[in-house]
Every structure is written in C-alpha cells, then in structure tokens.
Amino acid sequence: MPGEFTRRPRLLKGALVAYDQPILGPIPNVIVLQYNPDQLTRTLRPRAAPRKPATTGEAKQDTLLTAGPPDESISLAVEVDATDQLERGNRIGREHGVQPALAALELLMYPKSKEVRSNAFKAGRGTHVLKPESLSVVLFVWGEARVVPVRVMSCTVTEQAFDQVLNPIRARVDLGLQVLSYIDLPTRSLGADAFNAMLVQREQMAQLNLVNAAELILGMLPV
C-alpha cells in the first residue's frame, strides 16, 4: 500500500511508542494501553499562511493559501488497573501497583536523567555551550491507518485506589497530544516519515468516501 510505514508496530491495542534520540537500535519503549479508550477526541485547526497588508489597488490575497497541514491535537483518557496482576500474584503489581505504567506515561514528558546530569556536569565546568535537553520521539498508534508522531502536551493523573502501602492500584490518565508534522520534524526522520505515511493513508480514505458518495448519488438518479 502506498504510504506504508515500514516501522509500524503490529499491535491490536492502542499504544505509545517512544524512540530515544538518536535512535541507536530497533527496540523502542512500547507502552501498550491496557484498555482501549471508548472515546478519543481530535481537534484540527487551520494553519493560515502569513498575510501582508494589501496596498491600494492590489488584488486581494488568496484566503485558501496555507502554511502547511492543520494543527491537530488529540485527547484521550487511559485507564490502568492492577487488579488482574494482583489476582495472578504478579510480583511487580504486588510491590508497585500501577506505578510502572504511570511512570512510563509520565516520562514521555521528561528528558533522560543521563542527559540532565551531563548538562549539569558541563555547566559546572563552564567549558561547553549547553544544548536544550531532548525528548523521545513518540508515535501514537491507533489502528493501521493512524500511526502519528506526537508530543505529549499534558498528562493528568487521577489515582483512584491504593494498596496497604499507598501504591496506586487503579488510575485514570488524561493525555493531551499534539500531532507533529513534517513542518515540526527534520526531513527524512522517523517522525516525518510516519506523518507523511499517515497523510497518504488519509487521502486514500477520502477517496473511498468519494466512491461511496458517487454510488449514493447514482442510486438517486432516475436513469
């Protein structure tokens, strides 16, 4: 299929897949959603092209020009529950509850501690120009046709139940994701390739809608 993204993880559930920068190997950190959310909200806003003031007698500018794909944001609620792990006697669930799952989600917003320590060491020596710390490249996987690069913009954790030592054993995580496009990412990078593959697949889906619409109209005609 045109636009196929060859590094797409084959998953039956939704997931967030984080690749460290630079990408040194084929094994990413895969955070599989324990339960697929019942609802996912997407918001698209147009990215208007810069406009210059029109002078007298100058033709109006084309309002349909764009500076690129729309800004797209995604929000969803992720449920995590250690009940099954506790019933099976799982050691990690018994000792930590759902804290490992929460930590994996929260760390998508953190730079690596190794990089933080390195920057602090260089700052102490005063011999290097410090660079901003980098986050992992994150792909949001939601079915075959939607594997998109995202940045986690918000992560609201509501811990709902606890064990005897106050480990959370059930929690809800409300995630706000910003889709990153080829404008935001380096050319021919993992994220840009994923976005471009998604764009081609979205165009193919729109073509299928065109076929459905044509069949509907033809069915309404008297001949």
Structure tokens belonging to residue 177:
């994701």
Phi, psi of 144 (to 5 degrees): -60, -35
Question: Minimum mean pLDDT among 47-51, 69-73, 96-100: which range?
Answer: 47-51
**Tell me, what's the pLDDT at 118?**
72
CB 106 within 8 A of CB 135: no
DSSP state letter for 187: T
Query: Does residue 6 form part of some domain?
Result: no
pLDDT band at 65 (very low <50, low <70, confident <90, very high): confident
Q: Is the pLDDT of residue 58 over 60?
A: no
| Confidence category of residue 187, pLDDT binned at 50, 70, 90 | confident
Contact 189, 206 (CB under 8 A): no
Question: pLDDT per residue over 1-37, tens digit each?
Answer: 556 666 665 557 899 999 886 555 557 889 999 999 9
Kindly state the percentage of the chain with pLDDT values over 70: 79
Q: Which residue type does 118 have?
A: S
Positive or negative torsion for Cα 11, 13, 16, 20? negative
Residue 55 lies in a domain: no
Distance CA 109, CA 99 (A): 16
At 108 the pLDDT is 93
Question: What is the per-residue pLDDT for 5?
Answer: 62
Residue 104 belongs to some domain of the structure:
yes
d(CA 178, CA 220): 42
Element (DSSP H or E) covering residue 210: helix 190-220
- Bridge partner list, 139: 17, 149
In a domain, 154, yes or no: yes
Determine, yes or no, domain membership for 181: yes
Q: Is the pLDDT of residue 131 over 70?
A: no
> CA 43, CA 169: separation in Å to the nearest integer?
32
Q: How far is CA 35 from the centre of its chain?
A: 17
Predicted TM-score of the model (pTM): 0.80
Residue 62 located in a structural domain: no
Looking at residue 29, its pLDDT comes to: 87
Mean pLDDT, residues 112-138: 73
pLDDT for the residue 8: 61
Which residue in the block uniquely carries the two structure tokens 């007698």?
Answer: 57
**Which residue has better confidence, 127 or 115?**
115
- In contact, 139 and 16? CB cutoff 8 Å: yes
The Cα 146–Cα 137 span in angstroms is 16
Q: Residue 72: beta bridge partners?
A: 44
**Residue 176 β-bridge partners:** 75, 154
The more confident residue out of 5 and 185 is: 185
Domain for residue 50, yes or no? no
Q: Is the pLDDT of residue 163 over 80?
A: yes
Strand 147-162 versus strand 71-81 pairing type: unpaired
Is 80 exceeded by the pLDDT of residue 86? yes
- Asked whether residue 184 is domain-assigned, the answer is yes
Confidence bin at 218 (pLDDT 50/70/90): low
Structural domain boundaries enclosing 210: 15-44+67-118+130-220
Q: Please tell me the predicted confidence (pLDDT) of residue 115.
A: 72
Q: How many domains does the chain have?
A: 1
Give the whole-angstrom CA distance, residue 67 versus residue 72. Answer: 14
Helix (H, G, I), strand (E, B) or coil at 61: coil
Q: Which residue has the higher pLDDT, 107 or 26?
A: 107
Q: Which of 104, 197, 112, 102 is nearest to 149 (CA)?
A: 197
